[in-house]
Chain A
Amino acid sequence: MAMLAGFARSAVDPRLARELRAEIEEFHAEYCAALDENRLEDWVSFFTPDAVYRITSRENAEAELPVGLVYCEGAGMLRDRALAIAKTAMFAPRYLQHQVGNIRVLGVSGDGIVSAQANYLLFQTLVDEKTTIHQVGRYFDRFVRAGARVLLRERHCVYDSVLLDNSLVLPV
């Protein structure tokens, strides 16, 4: 069941779906590497200039409540977040690791926008503390083609984990 409006599954030719899934999997690997290696300014380069990016709870998503823990309209806001976190924010040092799986191609629209979904796990390790699962969630994505690669025009990170442990410092 797609819980975000507009992400219902439509028929996609299986061969096309396999090709796209491979491309999207590569995208996720590079995207997660940028975040896990703390390359925040690179993170912005995975989005189109008009991208929408939101991290929100499943509770909000299912009730169609629009807030985001992070809510960005456009690459300018994404860049501002990357800079603010990198240059002004105070937070404890941490390692983060993203794991992405169960990639599903949900649909391809006439103008080539690919809707896709994937599950993610975000592990966080703080100094002198055990590694914890910081978030369990799903990406609801819309990709557009930009030359040899795909870019995100829309990403909703919808997490099941009701209670966030203290703070979410870096993007998901």
Chain B
Amino acid sequence: MPDDGRKAVASNRSLPRFIWPEDGLTRIPDWVYTSHEIYEREVARIFHGRTWNYVALEAEIPRPGDFKRSFVGPTAVVVAREQDGTIHVFENRCAHRGSEFCRAHRGSATEFVCPYHQWTYDLSGNLIGVPFRRGVKGEGGMPKDFRLEDHGLRSLAVTTRNGVVFASFAADMESLEDYLGPEILADFDATFDGRKLKLLGYYRNTVPANWKMYHENLKDPYHATLLHAYLVTFGLLVAGNKSAMIVDARGRHGTMASARGDDGPKVDQASKREMRAFHEDMKLNDPRILDYVKEFDSPWSVTMQTIWPNMVVQRELNTLGTRQIVPHGPNAFTMVWTMFGYADDSEAMTRHRLRQGNLMGPAGFLGLEDNEAMKFVQDGLRKSMPGEAIVELGGTDEGTTAKLISEAAIRSMYRYWRDVMEL
């Protein structure tokens, strides 16, 4: 945890205003999403605490010397590959005066030089040079006992699994496998099965909503058939399809999973009646966007994984991507989408993934609606008398469920969150 005295005080003092509603986890008070004090405690205890944070795909930094800018929570870091292939993650903050020295999204380097006073670091973040360290003609310079090795960049613990890179400010984290748990690991490994990944590109957008709403949206199968008319109109989601909302034992991660029947997309009569926006006569001119090429060792054709605290793994049919949540205070976050395929994809398969990409992303048929809806919620919370959300679908159930019309996974997340936050 960073030894920032001010933040430590804010994160530990008692917060008497923040009393959870008596109804327990079926209610979520507004301050969870809007309070700056709560946000500061989240940064200290969650993003800087005992979590593995997604920072990169190895395919982004394939060669020694390759680096990328990234974030752990709101904190800027650099992910760099050393000459021996090892991956290092360190703060993007010069040890001297604090300048954010790495300004490029990605690149390749033999060392990092802070442009302000040219303090120089190697690819592991060690300080290797301070200009005029001995002064000029014996005058000035650093004290004799200033040791370069004591002033490297703050390094994070790093772990990788099948091409995905995670970092933690906690030095003694459990393994990523234990952190994810077997239920989540199974679907993570279906997407990241060890095949080399091929980078297809990025989307970057800001969402004017609290960062947790993105997790909640993907732990809320209820919204999928209602908000996303596209899904039902074109038969991507049918009430009778096999589906599940899978939650790990601690309640923090999730997998929203569904399986399409072998006969392709089918329009569901029952859901149509419930949906106001359904259009009976709509047909796609180019239905290739809904093709599904079976390529995964998984019963599911769609898995949307929320990996606490900052990652989403998107496997929507054949369009694949990671999403990194970078919070900016309680009311906004940046989303970095990294879209990929596999290195052995044919040209036709790559183009299929690109076409299907129209479903997701901040201009995607589903993606844009999620962003719009989250903005509506944050606006609602900010511009009204304080209130609380009703999270009562499925009663008080928590954990994994096969029911679509349930908010059990959101309740699980808040049981875990309240524990970590001591609220």
Instruction: Give the B-binding residues of A (Cβ under 8 A).
Output: 55-57, 59-60, 63, 65-77, 79-81, 83-85, 87-92, 162-169
Contact = CB atoms under 8 A, between A and B. Distances in A.
Would you list the 6 A-B pairs with minimal beta carbon distance, nearest first?
Answer: A67-B201, A76-B286, A65-B201, A76-B285, A88-B229, A69-B363
B271 to A, nearest CB: 13
A91 B369 contact: yes
Interface in B195-253: 199-208, 227, 229-230, 233
A22 B196 CA distance: 49
B186 interface: no
A167 B371 CA distance: 6
Contacts of A89: 229-230, 365, 368-369
Interface string B294-338: 000000000000000000000000000000000000000010000
Given A89-B365, A91-B369, A166-B375, A69 B282 contact: no
Q: How large is the interface on B (under 10, 10 to 19, 20 to 34, 35 or more residues)?
A: 35 or more
A57 B339 CA distance: 13
B279 interface: yes
Contacts of B207: 166
Given A83-B282, A89-B230, A55 B363 contact: yes
Contacts of B334: 163
Given A87-B279, A167-B363, 6 more contacts: A74-B286, A83-B282, A84-B365, A88-B229, A90-B369, A92-B376
B401 interface: no
A163 B337 CA distance: 11
Nearest to B286: A76
Given A70-B363, A76-B285, A80-B285, A88 B279 contact: yes
B205 A92 contact: no
A69 B363 CA distance: 6
B372 A166 contact: yes
Contact of A88 (B199, B286, B351, B365): B365
A35 to B, nearest CB: 14
A166 to B, nearest CB: 5
A105 B363 CA distance: 29
A45 to B, nearest CB: 14
Interface in B148-205: 199-205
Nearest to B278: A88
A67 B368 contact: no
A162 B201 contact: no
A57 B202 contact: yes
B362 A164 contact: yes
Given A70-B363, A90-B227, A168 B200 contact: no
A89 to B, nearest CB: 6
B126 to A, nearest CB: 29
B135 interface: no
A57 B204 contact: yes
Contacts of A79: 285-286
B384 to A, nearest CB: 14
B355 interface: yes
A73 B358 CA distance: 11
Contact of A60 (B202, B289, B371): B202
B105 interface: yes
Contact of A57 (B203, B206, B208, B285): B203
A150 B227 CA distance: 39
Given A67-B354, A77-B289, A163 B229 contact: no
A86 to B, nearest CB: 10
A172 to B, nearest CB: 9
A165 B206 contact: yes
Contacts of B389: none
A67 B203 contact: yes
A80 B357 contact: no
Contacts of B372: 90-92, 166-167, 169
A129 B282 CA distance: 34
A168 B369 CA distance: 10
A168 B368 contact: yes
B85 interface: no
Contacts of B363: 55, 69-70, 164, 167-169
B103 to A, nearest CB: 12
Contacts of A77: 285-286, 289, 355, 358
